[in-house]
Amino acid sequence: MPRKADKPLDPRNDIRAFLVLDGAVRLLLWIAAMAGALSTVAALDGWPKYPLLTANFTQAWGWADKFMWIIVFFNVYYVAAMLLLRAPIPRPAEGTYTLKPGKIPDRNLIYSMLIATLIKARYEPPFPGFLVHAVANLPPLCWLMGPVFGPRSRSVGVTDPLIMDPHWVEIGRNVVIGYGAIISGHTQGRDDITIGKTIIGDDVLVGGNAVIYHGCRIGNGAVIMGSALLRPNTIVGENEVWGGIPAKKIKTLPPYGAEPRPDPDAGAE
């Protein structure tokens, strides 16, 4: 019969505690954003004087206009609240941290756990937070998102890929990231977690559903094909095309912008 000390650690209580914290953070963000939105709309122009349920089209339009501004201000306050909660949390240091049964995790893992609640809130915003991605990428809040929340990016994306550990991800200019891509600043093993910076250079194309782990360096003009999986600490040279699981170099392209463009008049008489 195994001794008590030999029994594997049951992580359920720790995970439940994290879920409680996660729920509390989400509720706090929602309440703060909604309260800010409602009070701002009320202060700016007040509420329509006619009842909503019996309104004609013109009156209903007035109510809809108020709801629209509530949604806009909700998303603005939601992103601002995320920044306020993120600002006092130290950035976890790079390194490998062991998960020891029965031991208090390293403080850098605790920082990561706290930030993880905000990352989940960023990518899974509650209704009506469907404009969070747009607000986070538009001035003036985008000027704070990079240095405070991450990633540090000089690109603007139409899609909203999942960037885990955004504080350890850097993205250059003119980078296109396909839908469903995942970019991580950490890798979790069975008994440890490794945190490291992931850097994507300029003019890079990352295909949809690609996965990029911590420590990867992707050079300027490179292409990561759709559904490719870059293992931790992979170095992709400039203008290289990588694909597959795990990803491997396929070929090297000419420098970005140097490829000949098809002549639209070719073959015309």
Cα angle 32-34-38, degrees, rounded to a multiple of 5 = 120
Q: Are residues 143 and 28 part of one domain?
A: yes
Q: Are residues 194 and 142 part of one domain?
A: no
- CA nearest to 162, candidates 193, 133, 137: 133
Q: Are residues 159 and 118 part of one domain?
A: no
Q: Are residues 29 and 155 part of one domain?
A: no
Q: Are residues 95 and 15 part of one domain?
A: yes
Q: Which residues pair with 187 in a beta bridge?
A: 194
**What CA–CA distance (Å, rounded) separates 77 from 83?**
10
Look at residue 258 in the predicted model and tell me its pLDDT: 74
- CA nearest to 221, candidates 199, 243, 203, 242: 203
Q: Are residues 54 and 113 part of one domain?
A: yes
Write down which residue in 122, 149, 176 finishes a domain. Answer: 149
Q: What is the pTM of this model?
A: 0.89
Q: Indicate which CATH number applies to the domain containing 167.
A: 2.160.10.10
> What's the distance, CA 76 to chain centroid?
17
Token digits of residue 259 = 């490829």
What are the mean pLDDT values of the chain's consecutive 10-residue runs (269 residues total)?
A: 57 86 97 97 88 90 94 98 97 90 84 95 96 96 95 92 94 95 92 94 96 97 97 96 96 82 53
Concatenate the DSSP letters of all residues of the chain into one string: ---GGGSPP--HHHHHHHHHHHHHHHHHHHHHHHHHHHHHHHHHH---SS-STT--HHHHHHHHHHHHHHHHHHHHHHHHHHHHHHTTSPPPPSEEEE--TTSPPPHHHHHHHHHHHHHHHHHSPPTT-TTHHHHHTSTTTHHHIIIIIS-EEE---SS--EESSGGGEEEEET-EE-TT-EE-SEEE-SSEEEE--EEE-TT-EE-TT-EE-TT-EE-TT-EE-TT-EEPTT-EE-TTEEEETTTTEEEEEPPPTT-SPPPPTTTT--
Number of other residues whose CB lies within 10 A of the CB of residue 201: 19
User: 138, 156 in Cβ contact below 8 A?
Assistant: no
Look at residue 45 in the predicted model and tell me its pLDDT: 80
Q: Would 262 be classed as within a structural domain?
A: no
Look at residue 140 in the predicted model and tell me its pLDDT: 95
Q: Which domain holds residue 217?
A: 151-255
Q: Would 176 be classed as within a structural domain?
A: yes
The dihedral of CA 145, 146, 151, 154: what is its sign?
Answer: positive
Q: What is the 3-state secondary structure (H, E, C) of 47-70?
A: CCCCCCCCCCHHHHHHHHHHHHHH
